[in-house]
Amino acid sequence: MLYTGSLSMKVIFGILSSLSAFKIVTEIECIKQEYLYNLIRDACGEPPKFETMKLKGKPKKYYEVGEKIYYECLPGRITVFPVMAYCEQNHSWFPLQEACMKKECDRLALQHGEVVAPNKTFSFDHEAHFYCDEGYYLVGQQVIVCNLRGNDVYWSDNPPQCKKIYCQPPAKINNGKYSNSHRTIFEYNELITYSCNPSQGSDEFSLVGDSKLICVGNNKWSSDPPQCKGYPEPNESALFEELEELDAGIIAVIILTIFVGLAVLCTCLYRCLQRKKG
C-alpha cells in the first residue's frame, strides 16, 4: 500500500509540473506575441524600392521608429541627394525620393556646328546629334550614343568634324567657257557663268542649259554644265567631231542612204544612155 501511494504521488506531481511548465511556456509565448504585435504596430514595414538605387544589406520585415536605412546607387548612377532614410513616428519612411541620377558622357563641342541632345540629356542610352553651320559639311557619324560599361559611361564613336565646303572646277564645254576658269578651287555659294565662243560662220552658238552654276555642297555644283549648240559654217575638224558623236546606228543609216542614192543615180544614167543609142 505504501508503494502504491508513493507512485500515485509521483504521477500527480509530474502532471502538476507539466501543467506548470506548459502554463509558463504559454505565458511566455503570449508575452512574445504581444511584444511583436506592439513592435510591428509601432514600426515601419519593408523599405521602398527605387529605379536608380538599391538597399544596402538584406531587408527586414519591419523597422523600429527612428531606425535608419541606407541605399546605394545602381551602376552608371551618381548620388545627388542623401541616400539615407529613417522610420518616422507615423510609421512611414522619410525621405521618399530618388537620390541617384544617370551618369552623363563628356560634354561635346562642335566647331562651326551644333551638338543637339534630343532627350535633353547626354546620360547613357541617349544620343547626341551633330549639325554643321551653313558653308560646312560633316565628316564622321552624325549620331553617336552614350553607352554604359560597368559603372563607366563612354561615347560609341569619336565626335565628327565640320569642314569648309569647296568645289573643284566644273567641266569644260565644247565651243564655250566659264568665268574665272583660271581658278583651281571655288568656295561655297560662289557663282560661275558659262558663255559660248563666237561662231566661225553666220550662225552663232546657242547656250542650252543653266548658264549660272553655284557651289552648293562639297565638290557639288547646282546643276550640270550647259552646252553650246548651233549650225555654224562646217569645217573639216567640226565635221569630224560631229561624226564621232553620232550613234553607230545613225551612221549605218546615213551610209545606206548614200549607197541607195548612188544606185538610183547610176540606174537613171544607164537608162538615159540606152535611150540615146536607140
- Predicted local confidence at residue 175, as pLDDT: 93
Instruction: Examine residue 142 and state whether it is found in any structural domain, yes or no.
Output: yes
Residue 225 has a pLDDT of 96
Distance CA 256, CA 251 (A): 9
pLDDT at 268: 72
Distance in angstroms (rounded) separating the CA atoms of residues 221 and 228:
19
Q: Within the chain, which residues score under 50 in pLDDT? A: 1-3, 36-37, 232-236, 238
Check whether residue 187 and residue 229 sit in a common domain.
yes
Same-domain pairing of 194 and 154: no
Going by C-alpha positions, the residue among 133, 111, 48 that lies closest to residue 83 is 48
173: Cβ contacts below 8 Å, ≥ 6 apart: 194, 225, 226, 227, 228
Report yes or no: 47 and 69 within 8 Å, Cβ to Cβ. Answer: yes
Structural domain for 58, as ranges: 43-102
Do 117 and 179 reside in the same domain of the chain?
Answer: no
Instruction: Tell me the C-alpha distance between 57 and 60, whole Å.
Output: 9
Q: How far is 67 from 55, CA to CA, in rounded Å? A: 14
User: For 93-108, how does the pLDDT look when each residue is reduced to its tens digit (9 = 90+)?
Assistant: 887 788 888 999 999 9
CATH of the domain at 213: 2.10.70.10
Q: Is residue 264 part of a domain?
A: no
* Domain identity same for 210 and 236: yes
For the chain, what is the domain count?
3
Does residue 278 fall inside a structural domain? no
Cα distance between residue 223 and residue 108, in whole Å: 36
In a domain, residue 267? The reply is no
With beta carbons less than 8 A apart as the criterion, state whether 68 and 93 touch: no
Looking at the fold, whether 175 and 157 belong to one and the same domain comes out as: no
Residues 153 and 187 in one domain: no
- What pTM value is reported for the model? 0.59
Query: What residues have CB less than 8 Å from 130, skipping those under 6 apart?
Result: 110, 113, 114, 115, 116, 138, 140, 141, 142, 143, 159, 160
